[in-house]
Amino acid sequence: MTRWLVAFAGVAGAVAVGFGAFGAHALRRKLPEDRLANLELGVRYLYFHIPGVLAAAWLSSAVPCGGNTFATVAGWSFVLGMVLFSGSLIVLALTGERRWGRVTPVGGVLLIVGWIALVGAAFSASSASHAFFGSLVTC
């Protein structure tokens, strides 16, 4: 799971930079202000949650064999939340189709779940258990 989350964080960073630049330069004069604001919000939330994805990846490696359930929930909640929340806002901005706005709150709830699960992951992962079990367990 760790590799997939780190890879997703890298892709999300590239998408955020790409759409941020595209919005700031190519779309600035072409989109209405409300749609440009949607694009900027979608990009901003991608940036905000990349550290959460990376933290979930790191915490999932703190328990051998990916045994940190909270980190798994956090990581995938962030991934799905970012795709649904930021993705729906970016598509809404580019297409003007208001129906995409119905998806955004679902993504927002998943992002909140991700942060709450990250707290659980932080308390369920201990470096002592990793040091002890890491030498005994082979995955």
pLDDT for 99 beyond 50: yes
> Could you tell me the sign of the dihedral formed by the alpha carbons of 113, 54, 73, 12, in that order?
positive
Tell me what pLDDT residue 97 has: 92
Question: 93-118 burial string, b = 16+ CB within 10 Å, else e?
Answer: bbeeeeebeebbeebeebbebbeebb
pLDDT for 136 beyond 60: no
Tokens of 68: 């940190």
Q: How confident is the model at residue 132 (pLDDT cuts 50, 70, 90)?
A: very low
* Residue that has been written with the tokens 């649904």 in this structure: 84
**What single-letter amino acid sits at 32?**
P
Query: Following CA atoms 65, 51, 88, 23 in sequence, which dihedral angle do they give, to the nearest 10 degrees?
Result: -140
Tell me what pLDDT residue 68 has: 80
Q: How confident is the model at residue 125 (pLDDT cuts 50, 70, 90)?
A: low
Tell me what pLDDT residue 14 has: 96
pLDDT for 10 beyond 90: yes
* pLDDT, mean of residues 56-68: 78
Tell me what pLDDT residue 50 has: 97
Closest to 101 (Cα-Cα) out of 41, 49, 31, 50:
41
Judge residue 9's burial from the number of C-beta atoms within 10 Å of its C-beta, 0-12 exposed, 13-18 middle, 19 or more buried: buried
Tell me what pLDDT residue 64 has: 65
pLDDT in tens, 13-58: 999 999 999 888 888 888 889 999 999 999 999 999 999 999 999 9
Q: Where are the beta strands (DSSP E) in 67-126?
A: none
Q: How confident is the model at residue 84 (pLDDT cuts 50, 70, 90)?
A: very high
Number of domains observed in the structure of the chain: 1
pTM of the prediction? 0.85
Residue 65: CB atoms within 10 Å? 11
Domain range holding 9? 2-136
